[in-house]
């Protein structure tokens, strides 16, 4: 998602097409409702997922 939604606070700032950006923002909002703790952790980590 971080490569599709524009946010200046991210580790990798994206310049996606407007329609893709709108979709990504809606998807992130949906994730935040369903998995709020994971969403908050994702946002706190500059919107980068750490695998490991």
Q: Where are the alpha helices (DSSP H) in 1-52?
A: 18-34, 36-44
Q: Residue 33: what pLDDT?
A: 97
Residue range 32-41, pLDDT digits in tens:
999 999 999 8
Rounded distance, CA 34 to CA 52, Å?
23
Q: Residue 10: what pLDDT?
A: 72
The token duo for 52 is 């490991």
Predicted TM-score of the model (pTM)? 0.59
Mean pLDDT by 10 residues, the chain (52 residues): 64 73 88 94 84 72
């Amino acid at each position: 998602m971080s490569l599709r939604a524009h946010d200046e606070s991210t580790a990798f700032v994206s310049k996606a097409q407007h329609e893709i950006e709108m979709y990504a923002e809606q998807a992130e909002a949906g994730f935040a409702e369903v998995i709020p703790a994971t969403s908050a952790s994702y946002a706190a980590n500059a919107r980068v997922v750490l695998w490991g």
